Amino acid sequence: MATVSFADASRIYPDTDAPAVDSLDLDIADGEFLVLVGPSGCGKSTTLRMLAGLEPVDGGSVFIGERDVTNVPAKDRDIAMVFQSYALYPHMTVADNIGFHLRIKRVPKQERAKRVHEAASLLGLEDYLDRKPAKLSGGQRQRVAMGRAIVRQPLAFLMDEPLSNLDAKLRVQTRTQIAALQRRLGVTTVYVTHDQVEAMTMGDRVAVLDKGILQQCDTPRELFARPVNLFVAGFIGSPAMNLFPATVNEQGATFEDLTVPLTPSQRRELSADQVRIGVRPDGWEVGSGDGSASSLEATVEVVEELGTEAFVYAITERQTPVVTRAEGMTTIDKGDKISLVPKVESLHLFDETTGARLIA
């Protein structure tokens, strides 16, 4: 077990101008579960592959523990990886797949069998040890891939979208299992996903990447409560945060009938007179269209009833879509006029040009 650090690490693919990973600085604590998340092409997988040694590092360094592994080949890094496709060896049984590393390292047969059994029982695979991967279900294959990683007791686990080939129900189940297993084994884990729900539920900390640049690395709560910029604000949370372009004036920032006051320090940080007002779907007080001074008037288009809660998709007078959360079994219906007042504590303000959060 060890810490993992990226120091100014970059990767530029041949024949491209923009770096896939741009001067990444990231320190991962010993035993931490860190999730790399971002849209496709954001550089999260490349980051993971740089750590694995499957992708060269074009600038900066990568450390595992105290050791600079920037130029160490993959086979000598002592880390285990779970691939999206699982990459199981099709000609080997489950036992041989799990024990392949031990065999390469010439671990005596008896100890090898013992450790393979331990890993298999941890994952409920004892009954399948003699099967070939082709005879397993998707969930079982995924567990074999996990078994191949945990049997090694490596310095770190790397997981590249390990759940994306499972069906929705199994994905939620396995998500919890992996998180629990990681806490139990205490092995430093770097986990790549494009699914922000996975990121928020699994990670001790979540690193959000976009266009090869690290946007924010924080606990899921911080990320949700205080996104540092427009990208993170829009990416984290489902449904996404409402973001309205607003003009700064004497009273504050105004979008349609909605005016949000600005503090003096926020005014000082402004680079121009355009800001974005951000309100999460659960950050509204919903009234029934009385047209009070600072509220958004909107007409309901769709109500997404989920039982315990409902999401109301409405459209403002100037045709801007807005989402709000309502109690389950809501009385709000399609075509209703509603009046939305943001709760003060859930207001977010961002500079339109720089995208940066305006701190109160």
Partner 1 sequence: MVTTRLVQTVVAVVALAVISGVYLKAGGRLISGMPTRLRGVAAATVWVGPAVLIVAIVLVGPALSTLRLSLFDGDGDEFVGAENYTTAAGNDEILISLRNSVLWVVSLPVLSVAVGLAMAVLADRVRYESVVKSVLFLPVAISAVAAGVIWRFMLDYRPPGAPQTGTLNAIVTAIPGVTPVAWLVDRTTNNVALIGATLWTQAGFAMVILSAGLRSIPGELSEAARLDGASEWQLFRRIKLPLLAPTIVVVMTTMAVIALKAFDIVYVMTNGAYDTDVLATSMYKQLFSDRHQGRASAIATILMLAVTPIMVYNVRVYRREAVGR
The least CB distance from residue 75 to partner 1, in Å, is 5
Alpha-carbon distance of 273 to 352, in angstroms, equals 8
Starting at the earlier edge strand, list the strands of the sheet with 205-210: 79-82, 156-160, 188-193, 33-37, 205-210, 213-218
The least CB distance from residue 275 to partner 1, in Å, is 46
Interface with partner 1 includes 83 (CB under 8 A)?
yes
Q: Which of 75, 221, 268, 318 binds partner 1 (CB under 8 A)?
A: 75
Interface with partner 1 includes 87 (CB under 8 A)?
yes
- Phi, psi at 145, each rounded to 5°: -60, -40
Q: Could you tell me if 2 and 188 are in contact, meaning their C-beta atoms sit under 8 angstroms apart?
A: yes
- In 3D space, the residue among 167, 168, 162 whose CA is nearest the CA of residue 144 turns out to be 162
Q: Which of 112, 115, 143, 148 binds partner 1 (CB under 8 A)?
A: 148
Q: Which of 7, 12, 54, 303 binds partner 1 (CB under 8 A)?
A: 54
Nearer to partner 1, 74 or 310 (CB): 74
- Phi, psi at 8, each rounded to 5°: 55, 35
Q: By CB under 8 A, which span of 80-88, 170-178, 208-216, 274-282 interacts with partner 1?
A: 80-88
Q: Could you tell me if 62 and 51 are in contact, meaning their C-beta atoms sit under 8 angstroms apart?
A: yes
Q: Which of 21, 26, 52, 187 binds partner 1 (CB under 8 A)?
A: 52
- In 3D space, the residue among 159, 9, 21, 23 whose CA is nearest the CA of residue 70 turns out to be 9
Q: Could you tell me if 175 and 201 are in contact, meaning their C-beta atoms sit under 8 angstroms apart?
A: yes
Interface with partner 1 includes 89 (CB under 8 A)?
yes
Interface with partner 1 includes 90 (CB under 8 A)?
yes
Structure-block tokens of residue 149 = 């990683």
Q: Which of 6, 47, 64, 77 binds partner 1 (CB under 8 A)?
A: 77
The least CB distance from residue 158 to partner 1, in Å, is 8
Interface with partner 1 includes 80 (CB under 8 A)?
yes
Alpha-carbon distance of 183 to 122, in angstroms, equals 14
C-alpha atoms less than 13 angstroms from C-alpha of 78 in its C-beta half-sphere: 16
Interface with partner 1 includes 347 (CB under 8 A)?
no
Nearer to partner 1, 148 or 205 (CB): 148
Nearer to partner 1, 94 or 286 (CB): 94
Interface with partner 1 includes 280 (CB under 8 A)?
no
Size of the site for partner 1 (CB under 8 A): 24
Q: Could you tell me if 33 and 179 are in contact, meaning their C-beta atoms sit under 8 angstroms apart?
A: yes
Beta bridge partners of 304: 311
Q: By CB under 8 A, which span of 50-58, 123-131, 136-144, 226-234 interacts with partner 1?
A: 50-58
The least CB distance from residue 357 to partner 1, in Å, is 39
Interface with partner 1 includes 79 (CB under 8 A)?
yes
Interface with partner 1 includes 13 (CB under 8 A)?
no
Quick count: other Cβ atoms within 10 Å of Cβ 88? 21
The least CB distance from residue 53 to partner 1, in Å, is 8
**Region of residue 355 (phi > 0: left; psi between -120 and 50: alpha; otherwise: beta):** left
Which of the 8 DSSP states describes residue 356? B
Interface with partner 1 by CB under 8 A: which residues?
Answer: 52-54, 73-81, 83, 85, 87, 89-91, 100-101, 104-105, 148, 152
